[in-house]
Structure 1
Amino acid sequence: MNIITTKDGTRIFYKDWGPKDAQPIVFHHGWPLSADDWDNQMMFFLAEGYRVIAHDRRGHGRSDQTDGGNEMDTYAADVTELVTTLDLRNAVHIGHSTGGGEVTRYVARARPGRVAKAVLIDAVPPVMVKKDSNPGGTPLEVFDGYRAALAANRAQLYLDIPSGPFYGFNRPGAKVSEGLIRNWWRQGMMGSVKAGYECIKAFSETDFTEDLKTIDVPVLVIHSEDDQIVPYADSAPLTVKLLKNGTLKTYKDLPHGLCQTHPEIVNPEILAFIRA
């Protein structure tokens, strides 16, 4: 397996496919998944001639189940070590949900020449949790509920989420994919229950406002108005306002997991942005 070992001794698993001299695209997965969540996009962009890379965040997938470091600063530092080890330059970083927060924190701190563009898909920035400075956010009690359910019976929680709101399978007339549900469960159960628990705080309470203001590369923000996991009104429109060079692409009725349910819509949109 492809593994890097970070400064604190954590082994991070990654995939690295395609010509090493091609422009790299780095994919950042959501909670509590793994690099496998990007199967469709990895194959699509590989066929378009790109070098495609995806890693399992610490505590997730095939990476080490660490006791600590399950927060955004360490996630971004791990990405920095991966990028440095592979010497990736002029890369496009694509993040979904929690991975969008990871991309935001990494790109804001990346060295010049490392990043060409970024794509945030149904991503958590600027900040999810409701507080005085974010009155439209999701109440903390919602995330407390996720934590309680995860600690009590994560195997059931990891069935309930993809069976319902994540892929929009709870919507009338939805075409349910049993394969997507089972694959979500498989990925989630590969990871650490502790990392999954602590990552909820990371994705819900981290404030990316200052990171977004710092980013000067072009950023495509993709979000659906029917996202039941990361509410649209408190995320994408606010993110674009904070970016120096942001473009918003809104879909009306796609689910949070739109990369898996509707890749035929999302993939060409990303490709056009990269090529523009």
Structure 2
Amino acid sequence: MGYYVTVESGVKLYVEDIHPEGGKKIVFLHGWPLNHKQFEYQFDVLPSMGYRCIGIDWRGFGKSDKPISGYNFDRLADDIRTVVDVLQLNNFTLVGHSTGGAIAIRYMSRHNGYGVSNLVLVDAAAPIGFTTEEANRFLTQALNDRPKMIQEVMDTFFFQYITSSFSEWFFQLGLQAAGWSTAAIIITLRDEKLYADLQKILVPTLIVHGVHDKSVPFAQAQELNQKIRNSQLVPFHYSGHAPFWEERDKFNELLRQFIG
């Protein structure tokens, strides 16, 4: 079921809540410039195993409202906290992919991991995001030819073969975002660092990362593993930036085992 949660005056986030009567809860935070639908191949499987899956579109993306401001990690993490409070979530697993992983890390540090029992970071854009050179190039493209920029992102997203139909579907997910929010996140990924946040993560943490990731180097996953206490790193040897799809059976089973 889908519904909206008001996170501040005039701003509502879209929430997809699958199997709300289920047992253990998993909250999914998508990557840039996508939305909750990127986790379709988790939502297809995990609810039938008894898990309640909650996908949140950040402000500016997917079906959520698209205000002109509020795209720093603090505000994005605060939005997630509001959803957690409204839905009265507790003892849940927080899964963040790419920039969603960065938002999850800020949530853990800023809100003391409120309600979170386990953390899963999937090819997380942390502790750093874009280099200045990368960000400036993406920013120029986003403000002049956003479809071309999104297509270039998609072209380096996957290690395994994808069909033209799947590529078009994934591309359209990116177009559902606003231009200004797409650009604002580029600036956030360029300017904000998460080193100080890592030591505040105290829950068991699973780090999943595609070995062939061209967006976030595998070395960053190794650094997260070194700096987050009680963490484990699982390399995905046949994945780029999308192990949740490229090795989805392995990913779903690993998630199930980790959560229990």
Aligned partner of 2:45 in structure 1 is 44
Q: Distance in 2 between matches of 1:64 and 1:121?
A: 25
Q: For each residue in 1:201-245, what CA deviation from the matched residue of structure 2 results, as whole angstroms up to 9, or x when unmatched? A: 223432111211001000000112210001111x11111111111
Identify if the C-alpha distance between structure 1 residues 33 and 113 changes in structure 2 by more than 3 Å, giving closer, same or farther. Answer: closer
Q: For each residue in 1:114-171, what CA deviation from the matched residue of structure 2 results, as whole angstroms up to 9, or x when unmatched? A: 1110100011111134xxxxxxxxx411111111111111112222321x21113xxx
Aligned partner of 1:92 in structure 2 is 93
How far did residue 112 of structure 1 move? 6.5
Q: Distance in 2 between matches of 1:96 and 1:180?
A: 19
Aligned partner of 1:64 in structure 2 is 65
Q: Distance in 2 between matches of 1:248 and 1:112?
A: 20
Q: Distance in 1 between matches of 2:146 and 2:114?
A: 41
CA contact (8 A) 1:12 1:57 kept: yes
Aligned partner of 2:189 in structure 1 is 203
How far did residue 111 of structure 1 move? 5.3
CA contact (8 A) 1:158 1:184 kept: no
Gaps of 5+ in 1: 130-138, 169-173
CA contact (8 A) 1:12 1:55 kept: yes
Q: Distance in 1 between matches of 2:166 and 2:111?
A: 33
Aligned partner of 1:53 in structure 2 is 54
Aligned partner of 1:104 in structure 2 is 105
The within-5 A match list for 1:240-255 is 240-255=225-240
The within-5 A match list for 1:1-276 is 1-20=2-21, 22-110=23-111, 114-129=115-130, 139-162=131-154, 164-168=155-159, 174-233=160-219, 235-275=220-260
Q: Distance in 2 between matches of 1:214 and 1:107?
A: 7
Q: Distance in 2 between matches of 1:226 and 1:54?
A: 26
Q: Distance in 1 between matches of 2:114 and 2:71?
A: 27
Aligned partner of 1:136 in structure 2 is none
How far did residue 272 of structure 1 move? 1.1
CA contact (8 A) 2:113 2:201 kept: no
SS of match in other structure, 2:144: helix
CA contact (8 A) 2:32 2:98 kept: yes
> Could you tell which deviates more after superposition, 110-119 or 208-217?
110-119
Gaps of 5+ in 2: none
Identify if the C-alpha distance between structure 1 residues 189 and 113 changes in structure 2 by more than 3 Å, giving closer, same or farther. Answer: closer
* TM-align CA RMSD: 1.6
